[in-house]
Amino acid sequence: MSRFVVAAIFRAMVPVLEAVPNFSAGRDPLLVDRLTRAALEVGADVLDTTADPDHNRAVLTLLGSPSVIEETAVVLARIAVDSIDLTDHRGVHPRVGSLDVLPLVPLIGVTMERAREIAHRVGERLAREVGVPVYFYAEASDPPGRGLAEIRAGGFESLVAGFAPERAPDLIPEGWTHPGVHPTAGAVCVGARPVLLAWNVEVEGLTLEELAELAKDLRDRDGGFEGLRAMALPLDSRGRMQVSMNLEDVRNRKPFEVFRALEDQVRSAGGAVQATEVIGLLPDELVFGAAADRLALLDRDPSRVLSSRLIEHLVGRLGNEIENLAGVVKASGTATPPEVREAVQRLRDGTT
């Protein structure tokens, strides 16, 4: 096996962790640009940047190795805490922090358990180095499954003057003297979770009250779709209203069924769907579901999607090559440097 093949395998099998930090800053393009450049400088790959003035919120989609994502999170949190004052923040989206939420999503060579460990390490650094209280949610909470809604109920304003014992952050910086969360930066919610679909559907022809009732019928906690969070919001800058939704664990759900139900209910109430906005990248599950429905595909098996099968094929081939490489390393014994043996073992662990 040539050194070029070995190098390619090592590059290809580096563990990949996604982070989707949400900042309470959708009206300051210079700050969003600064956050983006800072992430790139640390070494993260910035796949997408979204900023919305009505939500007054910006979302970055980042990929990198666990160590790069950890360092990027700390750097971006420091910028957010220094630059975003929540006492002067207005927007329709709920928030408790300048860096409001920081979900970590395991993608390649990273288990959910490891993502949870990284989330806890990041949270500890944010409390210790950045000086901001931390709440853990989703798979990072203890026990797992804590929702953002219960943390953000009442928003930043309900936590800054003080908090009841049951709403105390999981981590508070050493020597904390404030009665509540950080007086201008609030707290940050750090989580570990599967891939999530964050999307907004713009609607016209209905009142905000009608749309709120519709969102209530759809969301999980009121008996609707499992894993769906939904709320109706006004978009003053566009003269429209919006159903803002998060669909958890999208790989095991059917997002287009959610969209069709929303569309049908809007029509029945006398309104119309105008546009759909996806925050971050488009999940295959949404695109394939929509295409299968609109094209009336006879075979709707997701395994027939080329991109999924290609990735599966490549990962399988890489796994075989890594096993071959492990055999070469084992046969060479002490002639192989310890760091190479350790790296090969990490690669093998990442493919199982």
* Predicted local confidence at residue 319, as pLDDT: 65
pTM: 0.81
pLDDT tens sequence across 301-338:
666 665 666 566 666 666 666 666 667 667 776 666 66
Say if residue 229's pLDDT is above 90.
Answer: yes
Distance CA 62, CA 102 (A): 11
Q: How many CA atoms lie within 13 A of 321 on its CB side?
A: 19
**Which one of 55, 89, 93, 120 is the catalytic residue?**
93
Distance CA 83, CA 177 (A): 21
313 part of the active site:
no
Contact 266, 203 (CB under 8 A): yes
pLDDT tens sequence across 248-296:
988 888 888 999 999 999 999 999 999 999 898 877 777 777 766 666 6
Alpha-carbon torsion, ordered 65, 136, 213, 279, to 10 deg: -20
* Helix (H) and strand (E) counts in the chain: 11, 11
Say if residue 124's pLDDT is above 60.
Answer: yes
Place of tokens 């949400």: 22
Distance CA 255, CA 263 (A): 13
DSSP 182: B
* Predicted local confidence at residue 341, as pLDDT: 65
pLDDT tens sequence across 128-170:
999 999 999 999 999 999 999 999 999 999 999 999 888 999 9
pLDDT tens sequence across 60-77:
999 999 999 999 999 999
